[in-house]
Structure 1
Amino acid sequence: MSLKQSQAVKKQGQIEVPRRIAVVFPGQGSQTVGMLNELAESYPIVEQTFSEASEALGFDLWAICQDEAELAKTEYTQPALLAASIAVWRILQDTTDIEPLYLAGHSLGEYSALCAAGAISLGDAVQLVHTRGQLMQQAVSGIETKMAAVLGLDNSQVISICEQVESNDDDAIASPANFNSPGQVVVAGNAKGMEILGQHIQCTGKKMVPLKVSVPSHTSLMQPASDALAEKLAQCEFELPEIPVIQNRHAHEEKTVAAIKKALAEQLSHPVLWTQTMQKLADKHINLIIECGAGTVLSNLAKRQETPIVAFPTDKPERLTKLFDKLNEE
């Protein structure tokens, strides 16, 4: 299964349209037990990548991917997903000649994007996100927290309701965490804030669906983790990306190493601007998105944006085949 025609043009009527590709990398929540097992049977680079990551970490990351209880722990989930994304990225590098115009990653996936772009080594990246997961868990130790997806309300409505909840009760914390697509905003906070928020959402007639996530990412509850992560980032060696990376914090490409690190640290305590990131790709005339790593979350979100973009997941052999078929169209 290989392809070396990925930059060929496709035809739209009588007009030849250059293929403009972006690659996106999934975040926490995309993991599944045994992820990439099928790909590993055909591509030795998968286990080689996990071995490289495991050596940097000092524990067997591939074994953790086969253990549901261990994989569910944030400190292990994050490096496992990053290694999975880089393994698929390496498959694409070996089997295609794609030249993405942009990379982007959802939350944790931003580290995968920066690693793929050459801004940080795989070893440093997995160590960094392992620490990130530990810091996130420590930040809410002893606090009951929740995350949920609000469906059917626009961004401004969700923001307004969250502000109302927090202004009416000093002990309530509830705020937007991910702006994923029009009509889908993930919210997070402490138990009290989320309970009150749920009552408000119910009054609108819309849904709030609980998520199985252990920490309230991208909220003020993560500020201690954000501060500690900034110190860790200061010690890490970064380069400017070889491919532009649109980061979550401001939904644009940062131009200096210092700005990249600052955006990574602040991302922990501020919402993921994924809707805005996807619109940025649409504005750049991207017409094909490749989701590089576990699951199909980002491919599904690409279809729900105001300007939908065709997207292909890559975590299984049959999905890779569909992508290759698409890239081989002339």
Structure 2
Amino acid sequence: MTRTAVLICPGRGTYNKAELGYLRRHHADKAALFAGFDAQRRDAGQEEVTALDGATRFSVSKYSRGDIASPLIYASALADAQSLAEDIEVVAVTGNSMGWYIALAAAGALSAADGFKVVNTMGTLMQEQLIGGQLVYPFAGPDWQNDPVRKAELLALAAGINAREGHELALSIDLGGLLVLAGNEAGLAAFEGAVPVVDERFPMRLANHAAFHTALQAPVAAEGRKRLGAAMFTQPEVPLIDGRGQIWWPGATDTQALWDYTLGHQVVEPYDFSRALQNAAYEFAPDLFIVTGPGTTLGGAVAQSLVHCGWNGMTGKAAFKARQAENPLLVSMGDEAQRGIATG
């Protein structure tokens, strides 16, 4: 019997110390795929992906860089997407932030090699320019309850800070029960000083992250469009759900518009991962939501996005956990205990 699945590709911040060796551990059979990625890195004068993954030591300062993290995450996630059990039918693909580039390749709108080129180019440009930064702050309650009033207050605070002279701050990603905000140092620091500390870790700055999905990234978008041509984009083989929740259908996709969105709106406007996930649920009602590796951090945002739309009657953390324990709905391939559900 076929199991239907929405495939979800993660973004930056998911290849950490525990993930070192991910390609070697899980994908020793994909040497040919990785050889192509390594060749692109060599041609660009960059360290090979397999060498980065095979290193004996992990350092946050190195592995959080855009030109290091992005290709590692892409290689890990795409290899996972190619390792699903034969009884799984992927009915749609989406991703978070940089995960959109991976989703394009996983859905067939970019070849594996062209997807790598997009990710490596954009990750390198982001790192070279490193305009602004990002922080994360929660708005949902402890039981993952949606709190639209609190969310509106935080966004109003951000807008007020953004209106100040010399301050830049805006919504970057709507991520389940979290807001990812991006801006310049003055904007980020003003927000940090205006909100209470939550769970002893928020507001949390993200190392080596630029002000993704804001107008500050306009120079990166412009350079990306110069280097990456629209001709590499093709019709997706399965539906793709973007950072607005819009669906790009096989056989009905304007590939020029897809290129335009990917290297335009997607870079400089907020990314609504929650809406993408909720639209995936509403439109495709899959048996499983499968998050590719590396890492497991995106699972929480997927779960909270489902709870916030009351999916399958789940209205809080407890209800979601009960459903997971009975019959898993969410599978994180980066979690050893869950991986087998997706790979067979």
In the superposition, the TM-score normalised over structure 2's length comes to: 0.79
Provide the residue aligned with 1:229 in structure 2: 224
2:48 to 45, 60, 63: 60
Whether the aligned pair in 2 keeps the contact of 1:222 and 1:268 (CA below 8 Å) is yes
**Aligned with 2:174: secondary structure?**
strand
Provide the residue aligned with 1:83 in structure 2: 75
> How many Å separate the matches in 2 of 1:264 and 1:272?
11
**Residue identity opposite 1:122 in structure 2:** A
Provide the residue aligned with 1:277 in structure 2: 276
Corresponding position: 1:151 with 2:138 = yes
1:97 to partner: Cα distance = 3.1
**Aligned with 2:110: secondary structure?**
coil
Whether the aligned pair in 1 keeps the contact of 2:91 and 2:239 (CA below 8 Å) is yes
Provide the residue aligned with 2:165 in structure 1: 170
Please give the residue correspondences for 1:12-161 in structure 2 after superposition, counting only pairs within 5 Å: 19-33=3-17, 35=19, 37=21, 40-41=24-25, 43-58=27-42, 59-65=47-53, 66=55, 68-69=58-59, 70-92=62-84, 95-140=85-130, 145-152=132-139, 154=148, 155-161=151-157
1:211 to partner: Cα distance = 2.3
**Residue identity opposite 2:93 in structure 1:** L
Q: Which digits, 9 at most, give the CA deviation of each residue in 1:21-64, with x for residues without a partner?
A: 10000000101246373674464334443222112332420111
In the superposition, the TM-score normalised over structure 1's length comes to: 0.82
Q: Which digits, 9 at most, give the CA deviation of each residue in 1:292-323, with x for residues without a partner?
A: 12011222222112135821011355432244
Whether the aligned pair in 1 keeps the contact of 2:130 and 2:209 (CA below 8 Å) is no
1:213 to partner: Cα distance = 3.6
**Residue identity opposite 2:155 in structure 1:** I
Quick one: structure 1 residues 204 and 166, their matched pair in 2 at CA, closer, same or farther if it must change by over 3 Å? farther
1:288 to partner: Cα distance = 1.2
Where do 4+ consecutive residues of structure 1 move more than 6 Å? 203-206
1:146 to partner: Cα distance = 3.1
**Aligned with 1:101: secondary structure?**
strand
Bigger drift between 42-51 and 24-33 goes to 42-51
> How many Å separate the matches in 2 of 1:323 and 1:121?
23
Gaps in structure 2 of 5+ consecutive residues:
141-147, 313-328
1:257 to partner: Cα distance = 0.6
> How many Å separate the matches in 2 of 1:316 and 1:162?
35
**Aligned with 2:234: secondary structure?**
coil
Aligned residues: 301
Quick one: structure 1 residues 41 and 211, their matched pair in 2 at CA, closer, same or farther if it must change by over 3 Å? closer
Whether the aligned pair in 2 keeps the contact of 1:53 and 1:123 (CA below 8 Å) is yes
Whether the aligned pair in 1 keeps the contact of 2:159 and 2:170 (CA below 8 Å) is yes
**Aligned with 2:19: secondary structure?**
coil
Whether the aligned pair in 2 keeps the contact of 1:47 and 1:62 (CA below 8 Å) is no
> How many Å separate the matches in 1 of 2:237 and 2:77?
17
Whether the aligned pair in 2 keeps the contact of 1:40 and 1:46 (CA below 8 Å) is no
Quick one: structure 1 residues 80 and 204, their matched pair in 2 at CA, closer, same or farther if it must change by over 3 Å? closer
> How many Å separate the matches in 2 of 1:157 and 1:262?
33
